[in-house]
Amino acid sequence: MCVRPACGVGGHMVLVTGATGFVGSALLARLQRDGIVVRAAVRKLGHTISPDVQCVRVADLGPDTDWGHALSGVEIVVHAAARVHVMHDGLADPLSAYRQVNVAGTLNLAQQAAKAGVRRFVFLSSVKVNGEATEQGLPFFADGLPAPCDPYGVSKLEAEQGLRRVAAETGMEVVFIRPPLVYGPNVKANFLTMMRWLDRGVPLPLGAVHNQRSMVALGNLVDLMVVCLYHPCAAGQVFLVSDGEDLSTTQLLSRLGEALGRPARLIPVPSGWLEAGARIIGRQVVAQRLLGSLQVDISKTRTLLGWVPPMSVAEGLRQTADEWLASQRRH
């Protein structure tokens, strides 16, 4: 039986890649608060990172990147850098581009990390390794059969498979975390678009959507990542993560509107009508995200690590809304 340590990693050096990104910057702030010695790998110096954090400039993530200076003295690597998912990727061969960064770049880092004596490598993967959608009430499980549907998901799965080989060959511990939609302060993409719609009072035909989707507040994801730095049971495991409360799109918009102080104007249009309209205009992918279900089961994460999401959905939405409203006042 594994027992969660009473304290963190102490003076052990943690290297964070993707340190200026949405997740990486939040992780840096948390590690600092916890008194953990942290180093940030950045593509260029001058980012607004705390002066207490040591920054090391590293070239773009790729198969030939030199990580020697960044890995010196490091015991744990958290790899959050990636070529992120793009909704409308215009490249002729997007899978090749994802593989160059997310697979070859990741494995190059891992091999150099193992050679440098890194003990543990925490890899921020994606629920897209599991797939794009679930039947309502039939969630993805951490150890279920992977079924990625797009180039990004394929690249993350291939990176996981390669990291397992590196771990087997070198003895370096590897941990895999697969988050679904992450939201929180400074969120971008579709979640930001929804906040803008709600703030402007745009009527939305999403008042009768009865899907179920798992999400994870940024604070909850970061908390799990910190646990995975040192927990003895985390080594070699895949973990799914969520807030522990799934919402329909209708519920999400209603609750996000409350957090913004802008009641959502939702029109109850049947989901079947919306799906048919999306097919006509070629927006099936967007419709799937708004109308389809994607649920994850986090019982393994809870049981093996003793982890409970420290932040409720209500608090996560409130923090997200408060930061966005404050940013609007600043501009």
Nearest to 130 by CA among 312, 300, 306, 303: 300
DSSP E strands in the chain: the ranges are: 13-17, 38-42, 54-57, 74-79, 120-124, 173-178, 181-183, 215-217, 238-240
Q: Describe the crossing of helices 249-260 and 189-200 by its angle, rounded to 10 degrees.
A: 60
User: Looking up tokens 């990727």, which residue turns up?
Assistant: 89
- Does the pTM exceed 0.85? yes
Phi first, then psi: give them for residue 266, nearest 5 degrees.
-110, 125
Residues annotated as part of the active site: 152
Give the pLDDT of residue 315. Answer: 98
Q: How confident is the model at residue 85 (pLDDT cuts 50, 70, 90)?
A: low
Instruction: Tally the residues of the chain.
Output: 331
Phi first, then psi: give them for residue 245, nearest 5 degrees.
-140, 115
Give the pLDDT of residue 47. Answer: 64
Q: How confident is the model at residue 148 (pLDDT cuts 50, 70, 90)?
A: very high
pLDDT digits (tens, 9 = 90+) for 299-317: 999 999 999 999 999 999 9
Which residues neighbour 71 within 8 Å (Cβ) at sequence distance 6 or greater?
15, 77, 112, 113, 116, 118
Q: Which domains does the chain have, with CATH numbers?
A: 13-185+214-245+294-310 (3.40.50.720)
User: Looking up tokens 């209708």, which residue turns up?
Assistant: 250
